[in-house]
Structure 1
Amino acid sequence: MLKHISHTLFKNTFIEKLNQKSVSTLICLNLNKVKYEEPRNINSNSKDYVCVYSFPFIRHVSIVNRLKFYQTLVTSLSLPTMAVLSQQNILPMESLITGSIVGGALCAALLSTGYFINNLIGYIYYNQKTETAKISYVDFWGKRKNIEIPVVDIVPICDTKPSIHDKLFISIQRYSTKDTLKLNLNYGVIYDTDKFQKIL
């Protein structure tokens, strides 16, 4: 009963939030204008699931998360090597300083970007028979993770506290865990608003 009331409140809140979003999001909500592409890498047991949301730039997010790891690895391996070469007078001290600054700046930029795109949702599927949602997101390492969640376990968006990062992404929370996922409505495509509202 509480879930039903929350969904009723959500409809009004969600429409208000959509009115504040960009024009591109509103165009995406017009299902006649949306070009539907079946997402790849769907498990064979997911034929009862229907895609209700996708984030078209999820592959770019995955690449940035992987670059973050590789850049940190390269920097942590190259700086000690450069320091040894500098002590042996094979490499000038300026090269070590420049390498440290450039490597540190790139690592800091990628890690700070990673904060905003870590656990970002790429796809949301809905199974009406079992009332479960399959959420595909990108983890810290840039790998795709799929989790199946009962809809009753997802905290409705209207029940979550407002945050300063709501314009970038909306936090998706669950009752059973403190893990938080991130949903981008500015550039995400909603294929079925009714099923989307049933989930969130």
Structure 2
Amino acid sequence: MAPAPWLGAGGAAPSGGPRAGRGAAALRRRGHGGGECRGYREPSVCLSHSAPAAVVQQKAVDGRTEEFKLVYRFPGIKYCRVLSRLKLLQTATSMIMLPPICYLYLQGQVSQNILFYTTGIAVFAGAMLYGMSYFFRRIIGLIYLSENGQTVRVAHLTFWGRRNDIYCPIETVVTLDEVGDSKDELLHQFKRSDSTDTLYFTIKYGQIVDKQKFTQIFGELVLWSHSMVLV
């Protein structure tokens, strides 16, 4: 497999206890309180075949180095990234071609049909770019859990097809039973109690690398028969 532009390398991290259902999630929120999620893009790193290790180190705001263990990954995110960038290139090309065509039309060197055709392509490319970007930016490629089991790290794409990481306290992540998604749905919602933004991940086509930590984040549900669990 080609090197995945999503994974880093590091040491192993101990696993935490499972997170049980809606009642336990609500109790944890009352006990800990919701913190504000922090989202930012980290510097580019060298990417390798170290996916099974699935542990990365991230410099925390207070100067500590915090380790994160990979919990979930979506292999198809690399194709989403390629399509996103190709769509950007196509849209840019269409927009660059439009002004010269307009100028040639005003000079009487091209027909009105060519002008309309070029304009239609540019408008369609822009609309498709917006639609695809709206979808791709909400697809989660990787989910990590910190060494101490308190912070969830989620990686998704930006408008430009680059990686963006979001960090949030585990108690702010809404469990799957609270979200109300069916286990047979293609896309499951990743919601946070302190944010209106919604991201999506797929269990059917994704890979749950650490079942215990996945349960710790999202709660107990019978999801494993529809997923590829790596051990």
Using the size of structure 1 for normalisation, the TM-score is 0.71
Q: Which residue identity is paired with 1:176?
A: D
Note if 1:6 corresponds to 2:22. Answer: yes
The alpha-carbon distance between structure 1 residues 104 and 43, as it changes in their structure 2 partners (threshold 3 A), is farther
Note if 1:123 corresponds to 2:139. Answer: no
In 2, Cα distance between the equivalents of 1:39 and 1:152? 23
In 2, Cα distance between the equivalents of 1:6 and 1:134? 21
Structure-2 residue corresponding to 1:190: 208
In terms of fraction of residues, the more strand-rich structure is: 2
- Partner of 1:171, secondary structure, is strand
Note if 1:61 corresponds to 2:77. Answer: no
Kept in 1: contact 2:21–2:177 (CA 8 A): no
The count of corresponding residues between Structure 1 and Structure 2 is 170
- Partner of 2:67, secondary structure, is coil
Trace 1:13-162 onto structure 2 (pairs within 5 A).
37-38=52-53, 42-43=56-57, 45=59, 48-162=67-181
Give 5+ residue unaligned stretches, structure 1: 10-34
In 2, Cα distance between the equivalents of 1:134 and 1:66? 24
Kept in 1: contact 2:174–2:190 (CA 8 A): yes
Note if 1:169 corresponds to 2:213. Answer: no
RMSD, aligned CA: 3.0
In 2, Cα distance between the equivalents of 1:64 and 1:130? 34
Structure-2 residue corresponding to 1:17: none
Give 5+ residue unaligned stretches, structure 2: 1-18, 26-49, 60-64, 219-231
The alpha-carbon distance between structure 1 residues 96 and 134, as it changes in their structure 2 partners (threshold 3 A), is same
In 2, Cα distance between the equivalents of 1:120 and 1:135? 10
Q: Which residue identity is paired with 1:6?
A: R
In 2, Cα distance between the equivalents of 1:128 and 1:159? 25
* Identity over aligned pairs, percent: 26
In 1, Cα distance between the equivalents of 2:23 and 2:209? 18
